[in-house]
Amino acid sequence: MTQVLTESVIFIHIHGKPGIIEAKLPDQASLHQLEAALTSAGIAIDGEVSIFLDDGEHHEQGDRHRPLAKLKHGSRVHVTHCKQIKTTVNFLDSHHAHEFAPGTKLQAVKDWAVKTFKIDPKDAAAHVLRLCNTTQQPATDTRLIELVHGHACDLCFDLVPDKRVEG
């Protein structure tokens, strides 16, 4: 009886580089197999680099030959030296900071900001996160690690009203 081997597609983001790279892994892949796939894709894995899956709080470590429980078809794999991203959000005259996992989506940062600044949910819908000192308002599914520059492990946002499109 022929065994059908299935594969999962993963999308790799490398700290400081734009865009994502598509790769394939066998189902039930281990950290060892993931690292081998990254190396095959030309991505250097050394002691300074950590690998995060999706919005996982902690980088992958431990038994390198055990299947990665959270790896699934379509997973994002973040390759970075940052263990966390220190994220500051400014709102009106106030600001708060929090350390998020590198793969955290911008929507989760907004949700945290709304709660932290005690903003009414009805008002929250009409606000967006804008990168400090820019006009950029990244999409809500953007991962924090996609927004950092150079070797930085921190980000700054202004929570501002979402300007309605009109005349």
Which positions lie near other proteins, rule CB under 8 A? Answer: 9, 11, 19-22, 73-74, 76, 121, 124-126, 130, 135-137, 139-141, 162-167
* Shortest distance (Å) from residue 123 CB to other proteins: 11
What does the DSSP 8-state code read for residue 31? H
How far apart CA 112 and CA 104 sit, in angstroms, is 11
* Shortest distance (Å) from residue 93 CB to other proteins: 23
Nearer to other proteins, 144 or 153 (CB): 144
| CA distances from residue 152 to 83, 84, 87 in whole angstroms, order as listed | 11, 11, 11
How far apart CA 145 and CA 142 sit, in angstroms, is 9
Nearer to other proteins, 2 or 135 (CB): 135
Nearer to other proteins, 10 or 85 (CB): 10
Count CB-CB contacts under 10 A for residue 3: 4
Which two three-digit tokens encode residue 26?
Answer: 């066998």
Nearer to other proteins, 49 or 128 (CB): 128
* Shortest distance (Å) from residue 34 CB to other proteins: 17
